[in-house]
Structures are given as structure tokens and as C-alpha cells.
Amino acid sequence: MSSPSTVVPIARPTLPPVEELQQRLAHILSGTELTNGAEVARFEGEAAEVLEAPHCVAVSSCTAGLMLVERCLSLRGAAVTPSFTFFATAHSLLWNGLRPVLADCDPTTFQIDPNSVRRVMTRGCSAIVGVHLFGCPAPIDELEKLAREAGVALIFDGAHALGARWQGESVAGRGDATVYSLSPTKQMTCGEGGLITTRHAELARDLRKARNYGKGEAYDCDLLGLNARMTEIQAAIARASLARLEAAIARRRYLADLYAKRLRDVPGVRLQRIPSAAVSSHKDFGVLVERGVDRDQLMRDLAADGIETRAYFDPPLHRQKLYRPYYRPQEEALRTTDAVSRHILCIPIHGAVTDEDAARIADRITELVGAQIARSMRTPMPLTAIPA
Ligand SMILES: Cc1ncc(COP(=O)(O)O)c(C=O)c1O
């Protein structure tokens, strides 16, 4: 088969023009302050304003940010987290010696299911680590209630959630902390980076120390930290990208609406449900194909047409070698996670996707799914209607 002449990539970083950065970079490179300096402080101040966050701490990645938040909150024992997520969410727990307790997801929003959290929450749990999946907020109110009742910390992995809102407010002030990612597939990037928001002044102070090895005023450590600093060059790129965040999200929202209009009534296809309280920042656009449609064949056919897709997150954590020992099917079978991860694919949604690309992608999915259903000569069965 001949390869397509143009490919729509699954992700493409949106970066500020070089000319805009030249002066700032020249200033940094002619100085002596290369990391964790004035530019990082400026970025934190601007990000706090844009994200409506009481405190904002820049770090080297979301993974490092999660590790440091969990360390600074002195978590012990276990923490509940969804199995349907990227592995970095749970890696941060293992790095802190915490046992991941895996919760199931909701079949319509794909978010962590609060009923499952309630079921798996054991006495040894000291935290819930929720994930704002694909840029749509997790069920924040229910998770806050669960965390309050159990007296545990609530952390959000907001890797996907830059710009996401819940009940009319930015998600940045909810829970004990939210950790965003600035890696290249995100709504804004500076190469690599992370951003922690929190309403607790004391936690923000500890995090500033922890990202710098744990070093305080004196050369006498009392906190186990990391080198998780952001460089001045990253901060300069991040500041210029931050100024474009709203436009980047608006474009993603426009594409998401375009996809939704064309795909929402297609037999065999289901889209992520966005709750009425939520404003998604559309890091990803997830399409669920129902039983009777071969997801992997669909991905291969789309690839042959120059449309890149990803099966986020397949396999889910409890099916991966590192996390299998933490899977307790007799306690929580994670059936919805299994079903969703086997049937989901993410399609391109970013600044380089044109209106024509999006229309073509939606139309090809409609045709290919339709052809599969016609071939199998049966009506697709909704995922929720049959037990896995
Ligand atoms: C849900 C989730 N959490 C954490 C991360 C890790 O982010 P980073 O690469 O900034 O460490 C990612 C990366 O995409 C992610 O998807």
C-alpha cells in the first residue's frame, strides 16, 4: 500500500515565534542566572493570574511535581488513583513508596468513578490522586467530599488540564494541589516543564524548597527534595506560550465542536461526555467505538489515510507489568476500565489541525466504522449494556 502524501500528526507543539523570544533569550544567555531565577518567578506570577491560582510553583515536569507534592504532604501507606491514566500518575506514588490502589472509571466521561473510589478506599489510604482526563475536569465535588470524609489529601494530576474549568472556576484552586504538564503534547509547552498550583501557602513554600533538592536558607537539609527546577530559558518560552494559551484552547474547543457535530450521532461511535459543570481544555479528543467495531483495524485504516491516532490509555495501569501486582480483581474488577481502554482511540486535536483536516477525519471515521458494521452485519452494542 502506498503511504499517504500528508500525515495529520496526533500532536504538534504550538510554539511562540522565534523573533519574539530572541531578546529574552539573549538577555538570559548573556547573564549568569540560568535556572530558577527572575524569569521563572515572572512566569509563576503570570501563570497564577491566568490560572486563577493562589500559589503557583514551576517545576521541571508534571511527574516531578506530583512526586514533590506527595512528598511534601508526607503521604504514607496507599493512595487511590484511576487505572485509566498515563503511568506517570502512579509512578509518582511508587517513587514515594506509596501503594497505588486502583479505581475504575466512568463509562461515559472516562473519569475516575467516585463510587469505585468509595469501594477501594482502605484504612491505609492517605490520598486520592484524581486525573483531569483529556482536559476535562474529574468529578471534583464528589472527590472533595470523599477526601474530606476520609480525612485524606486530594491531589489532581492536571497534566491535561491547562485552562480547564469546573463550576465556572479554574480547576487550579481545587483539592490540595493540581499539577500541570508543559511537555510538547500539551496546550502550551516550553519543551519540558510542570506547574503546581495550590491554595496552601505553606505547601507552596515547601515545594519551592523541595524542587531545589530540599535546600532551605541554611546548607542543612531537613526535607528530601529533587533537582526539579525550571530553567530560565524554559520559563521565557513558557511566558510567551502562556500569552497564547487562551487562543490555543479556543482553537481546540472549536475543533472539538466540529468533531462532536459530525460524530455524535454516528452509530457505533461514542464521545467523551463533558459534564455540564465542566469546561474541557481538550488536550485530547477521545472516540469510543462500541462493541462490534474493531478499534485496532480502524486505527490501521486511519493511519493508511495519513491520520495518526493513539489508543490512550491501552493497556490501562492494572494490565501493565509494573502495576499488575497492585490489581485486586476480587476487590475491584476494573471492568469499565478494561472495556474503555480496549475501545478508545484519540484523534488529532491541536493547532496544526485545519478545519478541512478535522472534517476529513470525522468523515473517514464515519465511513470506516459504517463499513465495519455493515460487514459484521450486526448492530453495535453499547459498551454499558453488556458486562465485560
Ligand atoms: C495524565 C498524565 N499525567 C502525567 C503526565 C506526565 O507529564 P510530564 O511529561 O510533564 O512529566 C502525563 C504526560 O503526558 C499525563 O498524560
231 in contact with ligand 1, CB cutoff 6 A:
no
372 in contact with ligand 1, CB cutoff 6 A:
no
62 in contact with ligand 1, CB cutoff 6 A:
yes
Q: Report the C-alpha gap between 305 and 365 in whole angstroms.
A: 11
Digit-coded pLDDT (tens) for 250-275: 999 999 999 999 999 999 999 999 99
- Residue 5: what pLDDT? 77
Q: Which atom of ligand 1 is nearest to the CA of 185?
A: 14
- Residue 382: what pLDDT? 65
CB proximity list for 346: less than 8 A, separation 6 or greater: 10, 134, 284, 285, 286, 287, 309, 310, 311, 312
210 in contact with ligand 1, CB cutoff 6 A:
no
Digit-coded pLDDT (tens) for 173-196: 999 999 999 999 999 999 999 999
Q: Which atom of ligand 1 is nearest to the CA of 133?
A: 1
Q: Report the C-alpha gap between 48 and 149 in whole angstroms.
A: 29
Mean pLDDT of the chain: 95
* pLDDT category of residue 204 using cuts at 50, 70 and 90: very high
Task: Please state whether the peptide bond connecting residue 313 to the residue before it is cis, i.e. omega within 30 degrees of 0.
Answer: yes
Alpha helices in 211-349 (DSSP H): 232-242, 245-263, 295-304, 335-343
Contact 87, 317 (CB under 8 A): yes
Contact 30, 169 (CB under 8 A): no
Digit-coded pLDDT (tens) for 85-141: 999 999 999 999 999 999 999 999 999 999 999 999 988 999 999 999 999 999 999
- Residue 378: what pLDDT? 65
86 in contact with ligand 1, CB cutoff 6 A:
yes
- Residue 4: what pLDDT? 78
Q: Report the C-alpha gap between 334 and 315 in whole angstroms.
A: 12
Ligand 1 centroid, distance to 194 Cα (angstroms): 9
Ligand 1 centroid, distance to 162 Cα (angstroms): 12
Calculate the CA 2 to chain-centre distance.
35
Q: Report the C-alpha gap between 19 and 26 in whole angstroms.
A: 11
* pLDDT category of residue 208 using cuts at 50, 70 and 90: very high
Top mutation candidate among 81, 134, 183 for ligand 1, by most atoms within 8 Å of CB: 183
Residue ranges of domains in the chain, CATH in brackets: 18-242 (3.40.640.10), 245-376 (3.90.1150.10)
362 in contact with ligand 1, CB cutoff 6 A:
no
User: In the sheet that 194-198 helps form, which strands lie side by side, from edge to edge?
Assistant: 55-59, 194-198, 177-181, 153-158, 125-131, 78-82, 99-103
131 in contact with ligand 1, CB cutoff 6 A:
yes
Q: Which atom of ligand 1 is nearest to the CA of 182?
A: 10
107 in contact with ligand 1, CB cutoff 6 A:
no
- Residue 387: what pLDDT? 43
Regarding beta strands 177-181 and 153-158, do their DSSP bridges make them parallel or antiparallel, or are they unpaired? parallel
Percent of the chain with pLDDT over 90: 93
Ligand 1 centroid, distance to 361 Cα (angstroms): 26
Q: Which atom of ligand 1 is nearest to the CA of 61?
A: 10
- Residue 291: what pLDDT? 81
DSSP notation for 134-202:
GGSPP-HHHHHHHHHHHT-EEEEEETT-TT-EETTEEGGGSSSEEEEE-STTSSS-SSS-EEEEES-HH
Digit-coded pLDDT (tens) for 42-67: 999 999 999 999 999 999 999 999 99
Distance from first CA to last CA of the chain, Å, rounded? 35
- Residue 380: what pLDDT? 65
* pLDDT category of residue 167 using cuts at 50, 70 and 90: very high
- Indicate whether 75 pLDDT > 50: yes
Residue whose CA lies nearest to ligand 1 atom number 1: 86
Sign of CA dihedral 112, 114, 120, 124: positive
183 in contact with ligand 1, CB cutoff 6 A:
yes
Q: Give this prediction's pTM.
A: 0.96
Provide φ and ψ at 8, rounded to 5°: -90, 110
